[in-house]
Amino acid sequence: MGRWVVPVVAVLIAAGVPDRVSAEESALEEQVRLGAQLASEEKFSDAIDVWDGVMGELSGDLLERVLGYMALAHKQAGNYPEALHYMLRYGATVRGKADGRLDGWVKELVGELEAAYSRVELVADVGSVEYIFPWSGGGKRETRVEAKDGRLVWWFKPGAVACRASAAGHGEVEVIVEVGKRPATEPPLRLAVVFRGLGGGLRGGQESGRVLEWVFIGSGLGMVALGGLLHGLAYSENEDLKRKYSDVNRFPCGLEAKKLYDKEYDDSVWLSSIMAYSLYGVGALAVLTGLVLWDSGEGPGEGALSFEPLLVPGGAGASMELGW
């Protein structure tokens, strides 16, 4: 048994968990005692499942006890962010404030987190939000945490973590948090969570909003405008060439005038025309992609559209690459 197993069992016994369940005890109390029994057998994940199933129905002293149980069980399961979350909730209760062991437990948890995790502040401007995190200790289980104002500070291991956010009237979005190891002395990395219909989602540790969509649409329109300008210049220059070589006084030989016209057209007008039509195509594709992303409400990621600006040899014009 680890050094945290004894405190878990000790807390459960100190809370007055009897060996038997009397006929007068409620079904909720029976579930709490069942979880306590599982924890005493070091089946911490199963105990958490039992307590989590009745947490929303508990109140008073029974709820305060279960908050403490959840914190210690999560610690034993290796779920340090979850353990700290429940430990702080427990510390805000009457029972927790009177528990002389609380400060030591919190200090040890914070030490574990600062050594291997980074703090991230999730922010959603839609009121109350429920965040759903995969257990940081591994496995397929999840932890649900309600943030009344949409703001929550959570600890993440370096790398990419897929979690979810749910808000009444706004549905549920996947949130992929990518974060490196940050010094514990730095403030939490602040990330915006944007629900579909309000501007996409979150990806790559950056506030996305509609920035990506506007980049595609704006750059596409800019390319189309530049293509129109080049097209207009090419058309004007071509008209000047036509007038120049149609002057029979200067060029009495029609065949010779045609050859000279073709040569000068290839040297000056043709390249501008090709660049103009290229910009039309690339710009239209960029605008279309921006509209698709806007409609889907998703940023770039697996299975989404992505573009990469490319330089054209010689530095003239522009190109773009489409990937899946």
Q: Using the structure block, give the residue that is written with the tokens 């104002």.
A: 149
Continuous segment of H or E residues that includes residue 151: strand 151-156
> Nearest CA to 125 among 199, 186, 71, 74?
199
Torsion angle of the four alpha carbons 134, 140, 166, 48, in this order, in degrees rounded to the nearest 10: -80
State the pLDDT at residue 71. Answer: 93
Give the number of other CB atoms < 10 A from CB of residue 243: 9
The continuous run of DSSP H or E covering 75 comes out as helix 60-77
239-273 tens-digit pLDDT: 877 777 676 667 677 677 677 777 777 777 778 88
Both structure tokens of 131: 């965040």
Q: Point out the residues of the chain with pLDDT beneath 70.
A: 1-25, 196-210, 245, 247-249, 251, 254, 257, 294-324
pLDDT attached to residue 320: 41
Q: Cα–Cα distance between 126 and 92 in angstroms, integer?
A: 26
Token pair, residue 250, equals 């200067």
CA gyration radius for the chain?
A: 32
3-state secondary structure of 45: helix
- Tokens for 25, please give them: 């005890």
Taking the C-alpha atoms of residue 259 and residue 271, their distance in angstroms, rounded to an integer, is 18
pLDDT of residue 312: 40
| Cα angle value 84/30/62 (rounded, 5°) | 45
Contacts of 296 (CB under 8 A, 6+ apart): 304
Give me the pLDDT at residue 18, please.
43
Cα separations (Å) of 16 from 11, 28, 128, 236?
9, 15, 35, 93
Domains of the chain (ranges, CATH numbers): 1-115 (1.25.40.10), 117-208 (2.60.40), 211-323 (no CATH)
Distance CA 162, CA 298 (A): 15
Q: Which residues contact 73 (CB under 8 A, 6 or more apart)?
A: 8, 35, 39, 44, 47, 48, 51
Q: At what angle do helices 102-116 and 80-91 cross, to 10 degrees?
A: 150
pTM here? 0.56
At 88-119, the pLDDT tens digits run: 999 999 999 999 999 999 999 999 999 999 99
Check if the beta carbon of residue 277 is closer than 8 Å to that of residue 226. Answer: no
Give the phi and the psi of residue 214 in degrees, each rounded to 5.
Answer: -65, -35
**Residue whose entry in the numeric block shows the structure tokens 């940081």:** 136
